[in-house]
């Protein structure tokens, strides 16, 4: 009689570490309840990026990635009449405008799954994971005095947020993104990504005695990232 040992290796081990930097544009809003009508708030984001690739499982390249970013987000109000016309302020004669800028330090951590050419060429990726943020500062841009604002013509009468400072500086939620990566040997990796973030926390108190039942962030991010290899599997 003879015996033999069979061994099957499902995943190929990797030990790749890349670091770099990123930058992009953020379109943000805040989900208020009661509702506040809004346009997209424009802002920027930039920071440091890191990725550790641990395995290639069949055709899927499995990594963990993280970033440490600065981001300017917030909300921009759409102040309109019932006929969708701009609300004119009696004191200034101008269409009323209001924007709140909120600056955060953000830490997203992702499971990163990619398919395509690993060493040279193009691959596509999907990533998802938690994101944590801490507010640094906030500021308001407006062209009217709060005491003189035109509440009579507004179709949306929710105005309490205009004079309320952010109460909860810590923010957390879930982020996910899709993108494309182009790798050049001895040069690095260039990533273009679209990402969505949904906040699970509220910027204002949400108890029964508070004005807002919900006030969470929502962001769409378009981002470019450059990574270069520190450790690379042979």
The pLDDT tens digits for 86-123 are 999 999 999 999 999 999 999 999 999 999 998 899 99
Question: Is 223 inside a domain boundary?
Answer: yes
Tell me the β-bridge partners of 64.
52, 111
pLDDT at 6 over 70: no
Which pLDDT score is estimated for 81? 94
Eight-state DSSP code of residue 91 = T
Indicate the pLDDT class of residue 3, thresholds 50, 70 and 90.
very low
Question: Is 97 inside a domain boundary?
Answer: yes
pLDDT, one tens digit per residue, over 146-160 is 889 999 999 999 999
- 8 Å CB contact between 73 and 102: yes
Question: Is 6 inside a domain boundary?
Answer: no
Q: To the nearest whole number, what is the mean pLDDT of the chain?
A: 93
Indicate the pLDDT class of residue 10, thresholds 50, 70 and 90.
low
Q: Give me the mean pLDDT over the 167-172 stretch.
A: 97
Which pLDDT score is estimated for 15? 87
CA-closest candidate to residue 25, choices 47, 39, 49, 43: 43
Its domain, for residue 70, covers 13-231
Domain count within the chain: 1
- Indicate the burial class of 182 (C-beta count within 10 angstroms; 0-12, 13-18, 19 or more): middle
Residue 127 to residues 13, 64, 164, 182, Cα–Cα distance (Å): 20, 9, 35, 16
Residues 214 and 224: their CA atoms lie apart, in Å, by 32
Q: Give me the mean pLDDT over the 160-174 stretch.
A: 96
- 8 Å CB contact between 190 and 226: yes
CA-closest candidate to residue 132, choices 201, 30, 194, 73: 201
Could you tell me the CATH number of the domain that includes residue 39? 2.40.160.20
Which pLDDT score is estimated for 2? 45
Which pLDDT score is estimated for 7? 44
Q: What percent of the chain has pLDDT over 90?
A: 88
pLDDT, one tens digit per residue, over 63-74 is 999 999 999 999
Question: Is 81 inside a domain boundary?
Answer: yes
Residue 46 to residues 24, 81, 87, 166, 226, Cα–Cα distance (Å): 6, 37, 35, 23, 12
93: Cβ contacts below 8 Å, ≥ 6 apart: none
pLDDT at 5 over 80: no
Question: Is 3 inside a domain boundary?
Answer: no
Question: Is 8 inside a domain boundary?
Answer: no
CA-closest candidate to residue 51, choices 18, 20, 21, 22: 18
Query: Tokens 């790749």 — which residue?
Result: 16
Question: Is 7 inside a domain boundary?
Answer: no
- 8 Å CB contact between 171 and 198: no
Question: Is 35 inside a domain boundary?
Answer: yes
Residues 173 and 106: their CA atoms lie apart, in Å, by 11
Which pLDDT score is estimated for 8? 45
């Amino acid at each position: 009689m003879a015996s033999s040992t069979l061994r099957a290796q499902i995943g190929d081990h990797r030990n790749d570490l890349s670091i770099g930097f990123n930058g992009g544009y953020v379109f943000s809003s805040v989900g208020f309840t009661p509702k506040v009508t809004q346009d997209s708030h424009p802002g920027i984001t930039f920071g440091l990026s890191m990725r550790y690739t641990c395995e290639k499982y069949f055709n899927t390249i499995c990594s963990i990635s993280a970033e440490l970013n600065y981001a300017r987000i917030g909300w921009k109000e759409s102040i309109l009449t019932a006929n969708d016309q701009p609300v004119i302020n009696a004191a200034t004669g101008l269409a009323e405008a209001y924007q709140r800028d909120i600056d955060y330090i953000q830490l997203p951590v992702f499971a990163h799954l990619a398919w395509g050419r690993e060493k040279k060429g193009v691959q596509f990726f999907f990533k998802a994971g938690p994101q944590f943020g801490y507010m640094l500062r906030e500021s308001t841009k407006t062209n009217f005095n709060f005491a003189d604002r035109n509440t009579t013509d507004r179709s949306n009468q929710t105005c309490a947020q205009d004079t309320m400072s952010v109460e909860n500086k810590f923010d957390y939620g879930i982020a996910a993104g899709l993108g494309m990566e182009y790798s050049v040997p001895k040069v690095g990796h260039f990533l273009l990504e679209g990402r969505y973030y949904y906040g699970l926390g509220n910027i204002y108190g949400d108890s029964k005695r508070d004005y807002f039942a919900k006030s969470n962030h929502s962001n769409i991010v378009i981002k470019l990232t450059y990574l270069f290899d520190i450790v690379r599997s042979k």
